[in-house]
Structure formats: C-alpha cells, structure tokens
Amino acid sequence: MPNVHGIEFNSNQSELVKDLVRELVKDGSCAVYALSNMKPNGELRMATTPPTPNSRQVGGVFLRIRPGINEATIVRPMNAKAGDPLTKLAKLTQAETLEMIRIWRKETKCGPTLIKSAPASKLANPASSGRSNQAGV
C-alpha cells in the first residue's frame, strides 16, 4: 500500500490524495501532517499553521482525509458550513472537491489576528461615545 505523508492509502486513492495535496500546497501557507494514532487507519490533515511539539492545538485545520476500503473520505472541518460533512474522494469530482476545500480554508481562517483586531475596533467606538457623554455631563 502506498504511503502519503505517513498514512497508507490504497494505490488508486494515493494518487488522488497526492494530486489534491499538491494543488493545495501550490496555494501556499499550509502544512500537511499525519495523525497515525487515529483509529482505524489514521488521518491526513492540512492546516494553515503546522503543529508544534509542545502544543496539542493546531490552528486552522481545513482538510482531513481518512483512508477507506474503496475510497478516501474527506471530513468537513467543524467550523466550516459549506458542503457535506463527509465526501468521498473521486477523480470525476476532483475539481469540485478542490474548490470546496478552498472555501473551507477561507471559512476556517479564524486565527488569533482576526479575533484580536475585532475587539480593538469595538473599543475605539465606545471610547469616543464615552467622551461625548462626559462632555454633556
């Protein structure tokens, strides 16, 4: 069985998974890694930031691929809304699947920079309204 980043896929699945990973890596700023401890056969993941040895959290996982008996299964990220929860990887629908994964990547890109910038803009507005209230008192 061919090995893709440490996870064993069937020969027909491995080529599809490799093609999909190549296309997504071309888009840039992503990391591919394997979770071999997941039962029964492991899981291949792509994220916007690579996992660190000290931290168990990984930011922005936008793709999870599990090997199957006949077809590989793509699992939709938890914080993505578009698409089906489980999708079978097939050559006929590879272009559509790639576009869906790119949408998931945009939907799951809720890193700490976006979270920190939102409260800062909200804090600026109450401060300006607070000054007008103090001037009126």
Q: How far apart are CA 39 and CA 104, in angstroms?
A: 24
Task: Provide the pLDDT for residue 118.
Answer: 42
Of residues 117 and 99, more confidently modeled: 99
pLDDT, tens digit, for every residue of 48-99?
877 766 655 656 788 899 998 888 999 998 888 888 899 998 888 889 999 9
Residue pair 94/20 in contact (Cβ under 8 Å)? The answer is yes
Q: Residue 128 is inside which H or E element, if any?
A: helix 112-136
pLDDT, tens digit, for every residue of 6-65?
888 888 888 989 999 999 888 888 888 888 787 778 899 888 877 766 655 656 788 899
Task: Provide the pLDDT for residue 66.
Answer: 92
Written as one letter, the residue type at 63 is: L
Q: How far apart are CA 58 and CA 40, in angstroms?
A: 22
Q: How far apart are CA 76 and CA 84, in angstroms?
A: 7
Task: Provide the pLDDT for residue 5.
Answer: 79
Residue 60 backbone class (left: φ over 0; alpha: ψ -120 to 50; beta: rest) = left
> Which are the contacts of 20, defined by CB distance < 8 A and separation ≥ 6?
65, 89, 94, 97, 98, 101
Q: How confident is the model at residue 111 (pLDDT cuts 50, 70, 90)?
A: very low
Task: Provide the pLDDT for residue 73.
Answer: 92
Task: Provide the pLDDT for residue 40.
Answer: 79
Of residues 118 and 81, more confidently modeled: 81
Task: Provide the pLDDT for residue 74.
Answer: 92
Task: Provide the pLDDT for residue 28.
Answer: 82
Q: How far apart are CA 4 and CA 48, in angstroms?
A: 19
